[in-house]
């Protein structure tokens, strides 16, 4: 069972909806905007979440935009150590941003109330249980947290200043939990706009291809724990009242007891079990209007594909996941969506193309409207690998059988196409079928699809969380190689991840590598594609020959994207063996690419 085990929510869950909570009215400093700070709202178990309410300073009922997160509803990006780099990037890209707003109320990955309240919206920002001014146990994405969100949505729908319609808006964490709560179908929820949020808690957050993702440890320690309720030592400053906004101080022992370390929890649950099922929504229960804004590098078309909503739209963009959210173009898109579904304005939104993709080129991007996802006229082309020559391409289907090995924890293998003789577009999901063996009982596969210029240099792109990424990344722990045919397609294998099947050393196995995200690239004439297969994190080390799709000052990095695999569960004795790939004949290994015909 999925999150639906919590639904339908019983009437007792929603208590005292028509009774406004006590508010601390603060002078917002913004003409026409009322600001109620640290409003306590009771949950069904008696605990209280602390929320901020921003609303128009005139009588009436207004639709509500809401988000709930762990980062601090009163913490500005400019003042938080973990967010200063993000803030600097944002201001560098949009130097006039704070001329359109005081920027006093912009929070990390959250909408700016000053740009919504004048348009006739109430904006509510809540601290999740256990974070900021909300006491309790901090347990990200837990069923308890999702229940809280559902309670808060229905509470807002019953307030005297509310029309009864609530929409959800935010990025990353505040997009992931939109999917979760939408599956509970709380009263009042009318539309969601998850901006670059994961859907599948096992496959997109905890484990990539069955390999534990420890990148979350940095997120936990640097972005979440500093804002834990009771953390008197937090470096975060309450931008509203000064001082700290983490409630009454708690001892270090109590603080530790009051938080659930997600990476520790992931490690205790190596398979897609009931723990993840409680945190991964049942898409069949998501029926509200939905606009999913995804990114080619990390998060996610999965929510769009899973949701049962009859009114759903998908936009896939490139670039980092923070700055585009605050652009004028993004704000206009967000307002058109919510104006239609929360205010009932006939603004032509229903004629908006159901799918729009930002196609990547060597030196820029172009937006294109499409009818469906994956693109209906995609030609799925296998690029066969040849271990003898290190080449790949459609013509190697008939290549003679060959094999090549690499050290599991060392440098891997790279297969390269011939230079493309014509400009060629690949836009869509990517798949990889390999025949492999190992000298040990398991092996990890890290795959990177790369664009190579005529001088042999990598062309890299700005990613969701990394300014230096290849075209696509795939992962698989070979003991997790089992595939569920009923839920798989040729371009998207589905691994159940419910048990480990050790390898017999020296035995050959067919495996399908998971690429959770699609890709998009128009390959210029004379450029090549490369596929790197290795047993460690893929990244661009010091001195790597790189050119960038944009002129960025980029750091060297040992890994790309939101994934990092270094962890004790990668025992060198098990994952440091000699790994082998076999190609040709009855053991054809190939990269399946989504070729898109030229558009007229």
Please list, residue by residue across 365-397, b when 16 or more beta carbons sit within 10 angstroms of its beta carbon and e when fewer do: beebebeebbbeebebebbbbbbeeebbbeebe
Torsion of CA 513, 517, 518, 520, to 10 degrees: -120
Give the pLDDT score at 596: 96
Q: Which 3 state secondary structure label does DSSP give 102?
A: coil
DSSP helix/strand/coil, 189 = strand
CA atoms within 13 A on the CB side of 159: 26
Examine the domain organization and report whether 387 and 346 are in the same domain: no
Query: In terms of domains, do 342 and 403 share one?
Result: no
Of the three residues 352, 367, 400, the one that is the final residue of a domain is 352
173 domain-assigned: yes
Indicate whether 20 belongs to any domain: yes
Contacts 24+ apart (CB under 8 A), 43-49: 43/129, 43/147, 43/148, 43/151, 44/12, 44/13, 44/14, 44/15, 44/147, 44/151, 47/129, 47/135, 47/136, 47/148, 48/134, 48/135, 49/126, 49/127, 49/128, 49/129, 49/134, 49/148, 49/152
Q: Looking at 336, 352, 368, which one is the last position of a domain?
A: 352
The full DSSP string for 14-57 is S-STTSPPP-EEE--SSTTEEEEEEEEEE-TTS-EEEEEEEEES
CA atoms within 13 A on the CB side of 137: 13
469 and 331 in a common domain: no
Residue 359 is assigned to a structural domain of this protein: no
Domain contains 372 = no
Report the chain's mean pLDDT, rounded to a whole number.
91
> Does residue 417 share a domain with residue 313?
no
Phi-psi region of 38 (alpha: psi -120 to 50; beta: other; left: phi over 0): left
140 and 275 assigned to the same domain:
yes
111-149: per-residue pLDDT in tens?
A: 999 999 999 999 999 999 999 999 999 999 999 999 999
Question: Are 298 and 406 within one domain?
Answer: no
376 vs 366: CA distance, rounded Å: 19
Separation CA 535–CA 412 (nearest Å): 7
Q: Do 343 and 459 sit in the same domain of this protein? A: no
Alpha-carbon distance of 600 to 598, in angstroms, equals 7
The lowest-confidence range among 16-30, 166-180, 237-251, 315-329 is: 16-30
Number of domains in the chain: 2
Interacting residues of 393 by C-beta distance below 8 A, sequence separation 6+ = 383, 384, 417, 418
Residue 238: pLDDT over 90: no
Do residue 333 and residue 387 come from a single domain? no
CATH number at residue 256: 3.40.50.1820
Residue 579 gets the label, from left (phi > 0), alpha (psi -120 to 50) or beta, of beta
| Residue 241: inside a domain | yes
Joined together, the tokens standing for residue 212 give 């534990």
User: Which pair of tokens denotes residue 321?
Assistant: 């996941």
pLDDT digits (tens, 9 = 90+) for 405-416: 999 998 899 999
39-92, pLDDT tens digit by residue?
A: 999 999 999 999 999 999 999 999 999 999 999 999 988 888 888 888 988 999
- Please name the residues in contact with 256: beta carbons below 8 A apart, sequence gap of 6 or more: none
Which of 300, 335, 352 terminates a domain? The answer is: 352
CATH of the domain at 575: 2.60.120.260
Task: Judge if 75 and 191 occupy the same domain.
Answer: yes
Same domain, 347 and 386: no
11: pLDDT strictly greater than 90: no
Do 311 and 460 belong together in one domain? no
Give the residue among 333, 349, 346 at the shortest CA–CA distance from 115.
333
212 with 80, same domain?
Answer: yes
Compute CA distances 399 → 37, 508, 589, whole Å. Answer: 69, 19, 11
Any domain includes 133: yes
Question: Which residues 6+ apart lie within 8 Å of 498 measured at CB?
Answer: 271, 272, 273, 482
Asked if the structure places residue 368 within a domain, the reply is no
Question: How many angstroms separate the CA atoms of 346 and 330, rounded?
Answer: 19
Q: In this structure, what DSSP letter does residue 502 have? A: P
- Pick the residue with more confidence: 560 or 92? 92
Tell me which long-range contacts 142-146 makes (C-beta under 8 A, separation of at least 24).
Answer: 142/260, 142/278, 142/279, 143/3, 143/5, 143/6, 143/278, 143/279, 145/177, 146/3, 146/6, 146/177, 146/180, 146/181, 146/184
Q: What is the pLDDT of residues 167-205, one digit of tens each?
A: 999 999 999 999 999 999 999 999 999 999 999 999 999
Give the domain range for residue 250: 3-352
Place of tokens 């159940």: 496
In 3D space, the residue among 327, 311, 337, 338 whose CA is nearest the CA of residue 64 turns out to be 338
What's the mean pLDDT in 557-568? 59
User: Are 578 and 502 within 8 A, CB to CB?
Assistant: no
448: which strand partners?
A: 473, 532
């Amino acid at each position: 069972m999925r999150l639906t085990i919590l639904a339908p929510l019983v009437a007792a869950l929603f208590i005292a909806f028509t009774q406004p909570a006590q508010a601390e009215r603060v002078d917002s400093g913004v003409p026409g905007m009322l600001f109620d700070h640290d409003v306590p709202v009771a949950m069904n178990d008696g605990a209280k979440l602390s929320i901020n309410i921003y609303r128009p300073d005139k009588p009436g009922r207004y639709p509500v935009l809401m988000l709930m997160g762990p980062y601090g509803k009163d913490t500005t990006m400019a003042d938080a150590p973990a967010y200063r780099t993000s803030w600097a990037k944002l201001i560098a890209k949009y130097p006039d941003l704070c001329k359109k707003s005081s920027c006093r109320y912009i929070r990390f990955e959250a909408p700016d109330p000053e740009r919504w309240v004048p348009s006739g919206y109430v904006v509510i920002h809540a601290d999740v249980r256990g974070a900021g001014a909300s006491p309790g146990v901090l347990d990200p994405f837990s069923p308890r947290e999702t229940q809280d969100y559902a309670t808060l949505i229905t509470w807002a729908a019953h307030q005297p200043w509310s029309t009864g319609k609530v929409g959800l808006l935010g990025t990353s964490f505040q997009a992931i939990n939109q999917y979760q709560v939408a599956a509970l179908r709380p009263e009042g929820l009318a539309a969601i706009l998850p901006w670059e949020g994961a859907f599948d808690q096992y496959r997109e957050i905890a484990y990539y291809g069955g390999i534990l993702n420890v990148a979350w440890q940095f997120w936990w320690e640097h972005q979440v724990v500093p804002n834990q309720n009771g953390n008197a030592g937090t470096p975060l400053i309450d931008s509203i009242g000064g001082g700290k906004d983490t409630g009454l101080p708690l001892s270090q022992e109590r603080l530790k007891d009051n938080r659930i370390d997600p990476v520790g929890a992931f490690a205790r649950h190596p398979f897609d079990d009931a723990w993840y099922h409680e945190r991964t929504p049942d898409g069949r229960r998501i029926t509200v209007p939905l606009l999913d804004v995804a990114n080619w590098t990390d998060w996610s078309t999965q929510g769009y594909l899973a949701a049962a909503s009859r009114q759903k739209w998908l936009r896939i963009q490139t670039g980092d996941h923070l700055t585009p959210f605050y652009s004028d173009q993004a704000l206009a898109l967000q307002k058109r969506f919510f104006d239609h579904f929360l205010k009932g304005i006939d603004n032509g939104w229903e004629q908006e193309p159901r799918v729009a993709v930002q196609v990547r080129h060597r030196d820029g991007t172009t937006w294109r409207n499409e009818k469906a996802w994956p693109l209906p006229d995609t030609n799925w082309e296998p690029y066969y690998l040849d271990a003898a020559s290190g080449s790949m391409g459609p013509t190697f289907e008939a290549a003679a059988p060959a094999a090549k090995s690499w050290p599991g924890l060392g440098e891997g293998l790279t297969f390269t196409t011939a230079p493309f003789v014509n400009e060629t577009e690949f836009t869509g999901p990517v798949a990889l079928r390999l025949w492999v063996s190992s000298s040990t009982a398991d092996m990890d596969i890290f795959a990177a699809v790369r664009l190579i210029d005529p001088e042999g240099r990598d062309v890299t792109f700005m990613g969701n969380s990394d300014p230096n990424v290849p075209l696509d990344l795939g992962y698989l722990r070979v003991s997790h190689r089992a595939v569920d045919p009923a839920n798989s397609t040729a371009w998207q294998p589905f691994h159940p991840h419910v048990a480990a099947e050790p390898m017999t050393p020296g035995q050959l196995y067919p495996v399908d590598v998971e690429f959770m995200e699609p890709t998009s690239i128009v390959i210029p004439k004379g450029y090549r594609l490369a596929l790197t297969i290795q047993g460690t994190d893929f990244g661009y080390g010091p001195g790597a020959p790189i050119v960038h799709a944009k002129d960025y000052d980029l750091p060297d990095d040992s890994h790309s994207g939101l994934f990092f695999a270094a962890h004790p569960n990668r025992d060198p004795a098990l994952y440091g063996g000699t790994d082998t790939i076999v190609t040709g004949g009855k053991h054809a290994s190939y990269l399946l690419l989504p070729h898109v015909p030229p558009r007229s």
